[in-house]
């Protein structure tokens, strides 16, 4: 049997509170939710992180995202919704089967914060930002 906990959930070897599935994706409640309605959306194929998606895998995955978002909006009427997705342990990934967190937001006291996003506008001048854009564009070309 696979050692991946999310593959085990898809195979029903491990229980989950499923909210949606189709041929390509499975969505279920996070077992350690941060806010009311915290959901995970995963591809049925074992894909470790964003780098491993084919274009087709990505299209199949992301077309389900608005459906999940709109279901959460309809049910919980949150003030906002954060989509969060971690790639690699240093970025906070703890389960190495790609997943997107859907975190409904209610107010500043709802327990989820992105307040440590330090902006470095003195380091990243407009010239430096343009230089970085040129580098990335050259990889994409």
- Between 80 and 109, how does the x/- string for binding to ligand AMP read (CB under 6 A)? ------x-----xxxx--------------
> Which partner, ligand AMP, Zn ion, none, binds residue 31 by CB below 5 to 8 Å per kind?
ligand AMP
Active site residue 38: no
Q: What is the spatial distance between Cα 74 and Cα 118, in angstroms, rounded to a whole number?
A: 33
Choose one: 28-36, 43-51, 59-67, 83-91; the region binding Zn ion (CB under 5 A): 43-51
Q: What is the spatial distance between Cα 31 and Cα 14, in angstroms, rounded to a whole number?
A: 12
* By the rule CB under 5 A, 5 interacts with Zn ion: no
What the block records as the tokens of 85 is: 């997705």
Q: What is the spatial distance between Cα 128 and Cα 121, in angstroms, rounded to a whole number?
A: 10
Active site residues: 99
């Amino acid at each position: 049997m696979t050692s991946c906990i999310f593959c085990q959930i898809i195979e029903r070897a491990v229980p989950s509170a499923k909210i949606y599935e189709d041929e390509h994706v499975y969505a279920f409640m996070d077992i350690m939710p941060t806010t009311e309605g915290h959901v995970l959306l995963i591809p049925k194929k074992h894909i470790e992180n964003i780098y491993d998606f084919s274009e087709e895998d990505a299209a199949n995955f992301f077309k389900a995202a608005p459906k999940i978002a709109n279901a959460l909006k309809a049910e919980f009427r949150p003030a906002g919704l954060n989509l969060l997705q971690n790639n690699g342990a240093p970025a906070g990934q703890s389960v190495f089967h790609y997943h997107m967190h859907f975190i409904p937001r209610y107010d500043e006291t709802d327990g989820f914060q992105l307040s440590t996003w330090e902006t470095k506008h003195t380091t990243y001048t407009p010239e430096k930002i343009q230089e970085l854009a040129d580098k990335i564009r050259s990889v994409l070309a």
